[in-house]
Amino acid sequence: MSEALVRLDEQAGVIRLTLNRPKALNALNSELIGELDATLAELETRRDLRAVLITGAGDKAFVAGADIAEMRDKTPEQARRFATQALATVKRLERLPVPVVALVNGFCLGGGCELALACDWAVASDNAIFGQPEVGLGVIPGFGGTQRLPRRVGPAMALDLITTGRKIDAAEALRIGLVNRVVPQGELDSLAEELAGQLAGNGPQAVRAAKQAIHDGQGQGLDNALALETSLFALGFAGDEQKEGMSAFVEKRKPDF
């Protein structure tokens, strides 16, 4: 029996997804995309889910891109179906109600960079390499890169990276806001464990509400976005989570969410 293309590990409601095609540098082919989509569909139903961390197997790549060998001979209509399939999976990842964090080790190019952009934020090892090199193949990014990258780093920087196809290291990715933190390669796993503990230790409904407020508020005017925040803040007082959190603070103990 072949090994799963998406490995799943869980710690206190925090799921770690590992894309598992290391010999192909975890390149996104139809089979991997389909398995990832099915996994995410199951996670959508989990009310106990706290957060999702996503990474790539091996020490060379997060995801080195889409599978060029699979794409090479596609017709325009076949290419449209492939991009539509991949984009639907990327959107499913983006729309999970809990924080989604990319753990980037090594190459994060093309479709891999687009996958990382769909995450709420990213941490990278110091050997990470980022880029959208599609123009060198005679195409443009097709999994959301032309839209999410400008929203992350600004239109001018996105145009720089996409139209030149140049690759950047982890330090520059941090400088332009593509990633949030950079750590030595050997410390990425320990950081992942630390993040899992931090994300699992906070009020789960509060964390979901914070993500909703930030994501939904981005598409609204400031007044409407502030009204959304007020509503979600007030809803936090409707359940036991707020009572436990504030009681623990007053009583100088750790909350039990």
- The domain segmentation of the chain, as residue ranges, is 6-200, 203-250
Residue 215: the pLDDT is 94
Is the pLDDT score of 17 beyond 80? yes
Q: For 138-147, what is the mean pLDDT?
A: 97
Q: Is the pLDDT of residue 51 over 60?
A: yes
Sequence-ordered strand ranges (E) for 38-138: 51-56, 61-63, 100-104, 107-109, 121-125, 129-131
Which residue among the candidates 3, 31, 42, 134 is catalytic per the annotation?
134
Q: Give CA angle at 111 (109, 113), nearest 5°.
A: 50
Active site residue 134: yes
Overall fold of domain 6-200:
2-enoyl-CoA Hydratase; Chain A, domain 1 (3.90.226)
The question of whether 42 is a catalytic residue gets the answer no
Which has the closest alpha carbon to 60: 23, 7, 9, 115?
A: 23
CATH level 3 topology of 203-250: Lyase 2-enoyl-coa Hydratase; Chain  A, domain 2 (1.10.12)
Q: Please answer whether residues 175 and 200 qualify as being in contact, where contact means their C-beta atoms are separated by less than 8 angstroms.
A: no
HSE value, Cβ hemisphere, 13 Å, CA-based, for 47: 0
Average pLDDT, the chain: 95
Q: In what order do the strands lie in the sheet with 107-109?
A: 61-63, 107-109, 129-131, 167-169
Residue in 108, 128, 127 with CA at minimum distance from that of residue 118: 108
Per the residue annotation, which of 114, 187, 193, 229 is the catalytic one?
114
Q: Hey, which residues does 181 pair with through a beta bridge? A: 123
**Does the structure show a pLDDT above 90 at 2?**
no
- Mean pLDDT, to the nearest integer, of 7-24? 95
pLDDT category at 1 given cuts 50, 70, 90 is: low
Helix-helix angle 204-218:240-250, to 10 degrees: 110
Express each pLDDT in 173-213 by its tens digit. Answer: 999 999 999 999 999 999 999 999 999 999 999 999 999 99
40 vs 82, 140, 248, CA distance in Å?
Answer: 18, 26, 34
Provide the token pair at 225: 């976005």
Closest CA to 186 of 243, 125, 130: 125
Q: Which two tokens stand for residue 15?
A: 């799921």
Q: What is the pLDDT of residue 244?
A: 95
- pLDDT number for residue 3: 84
Query: What pLDDT is stored for residue 234 in this prediction?
Result: 97
